[in-house]
Structure 1
């Protein structure tokens, strides 16, 4: 399929995937699709995905949840339905910040280059004013949020324990037998600094983003771990299984596009 044909069919295709995630909160569906497209290395489809959601926010048909940064594990239960231009911009900014954060978190699994390409596609979809408004917030993990190294280690260990529960020590021991440096990096950096931050996405949302990211990577042990990890942080198993199925459908579609272009 040529790019022109692809973009002509994009809204319908994306809409089908969003509808298929019927057990997932509506606002989170495009974010999970974006995580899968990032990991499948098909960032070009992020442009119509983002533009579709921004148009829905402007039309007042898409509500953006608020996750107070002062409440580390707050559920995304309240939402903003914009009814004036300021609220439209605020809602669009919040959606893009949450989308960026989710892709960034997923990139610790699928790799920096994939994350760079995806985040570049997201930014390409924004008009200059919206891009400026989003970037005006600066980094989520700014200099004022820096913790001592041992605090990151503890925070990472606590999150790892929450996700893997009684499997925590066996998993860390197995990884440590291969590389002690990897264990330290996983706990301090991946979990402590990146995944444990809940300013924009809750732990449950983060776990779903990781599941969506892992499906295209074809790594069954890690996918299985985070499927059960999602359940351990309160996501119904039916919702997680549906996500795996839809992410698999997206991945198969991407493979078909890549194969047909060779």
Structure 2
């Protein structure tokens, strides 16, 4: 069945395409600057998770691919990338990480992308994970697991235990307002609380028992909150939810997980402030070329 021409025309209207990609050469300096800031607090994993979620939520899938191309190469955080400059980055001229580390970083990015479903929806996640997959080298694609470990673990536990796990995570973010919030959601739709607790917080945002031994990369409690904050900040227009998840990030230290030094910093007031600021700068970097081009056109017309 073919789509009529008039309908095809309508489909091309009202911004159907993602944001244009400024290009890795223009993005590399902001990547390097923000990575250097994160490295000072041993929060490189947090930087990669936050940057992935930011570009996904901002609807710039091809930039997610460029983020991997950047992150898969060695940066000394002093303005150079291997033997070349990050501002000239065609990046094959720089030294890539060994296969194991490139695979771990790709796995972390796709895990952050998967958890972003809860905050920005399936369509953006599909497009960004597709772009990420296209950017991966063949050896990394071959090394990444194809087994749905999370699904299998959740199924083996049963939905009752998955829901209990989800309630624990939900409580850790929204306490002392948990019951009040769930009651309010139930007024919006009677299935809403159960769906959120079981299928979003339980099945996806929280990790199954034994997950760390199965997963190639873990987006833990602190990074999950950081991903949520990044998605909501980059999306805009959801102030109350953003505030709730900033509180959730600050409470991550009390969840009972062993956190690295970098993740502990992310869950501090300074770390949360950095996350918000880095998201703003990364989103702004997507619009700078358009602004410059428009200003140049305006000057030429004068």
TM-score by length of 2: 0.70
For 1:188 and 1:33, locate their aligned partners in 2 and report how far apart those are by CA, in whole Å: 27
Q: In the alignment, what sits opposite 1:143?
A: 152
Q: In the alignment, what sits opposite 1:112?
A: 122
For 1:215 and 1:132, locate their aligned partners in 2 and report how far apart those are by CA, in whole Å: 34
The answer for unaligned runs of 5 or more in structure 2 is 1-18, 82-95, 213-217, 254-266, 295-302
Counterparts in 2 of 1:147-226, with a 5 A limit? Answer: 147-197=157-207, 199=212, 200-218=218-236, 219-226=238-245
State the Cα deviation string for residues 16-54 of structure 1 (Å, max 9, x = none).
Answer: 333354556023212211100000001111222111221
Give secondary structure in 1 for the equivalent of 2:115: helix
Aligned length: 234
Q: In the alignment, what sits opposite 1:71?
A: none
Give secondary structure in 1 for the equivalent of 2:192: helix
Q: In the alignment, what sits opposite 1:68?
A: none
The structure having more radius of gyration, on CA atoms, is: 2
Q: In the alignment, what sits opposite 1:121?
A: 131
Q: Which of residues 130, 135, 141 in structure 1 aligns to 2:140?
A: 130
More helix by share: 1
For 2:20 and 2:116, locate their aligned partners in 1 and report how far apart those are by CA, in whole Å: 28
Give secondary structure in 1 for the equivalent of 2:149: coil
CA RMSD of the aligned region, Å? 2.8
The answer to whether 1:39 aligns with 2:57 is yes
Give secondary structure in 1 for the equivalent of 2:59: coil
TM-score by length of 1: 0.80
- Residue 259 to residue 156, structure 1, CA distance change in 2 (3 Å): farther
- Residue 141 to residue 26, structure 1, CA distance change in 2 (3 Å): same
Q: In the alignment, what sits opposite 1:50?
A: 68
State the Cα deviation string for residues 36-90 of structure 1 (Å, max 9, x = none).
Answer: 0000001111222111221228xxx99xxxxxxxxxxxxxxxxxxxxxx9x9222
Give secondary structure in 2 for the equivalent of 1:201: coil
Q: In the alignment, what sits opposite 2:93?
A: none
Q: In the alignment, what sits opposite 2:257?
A: none
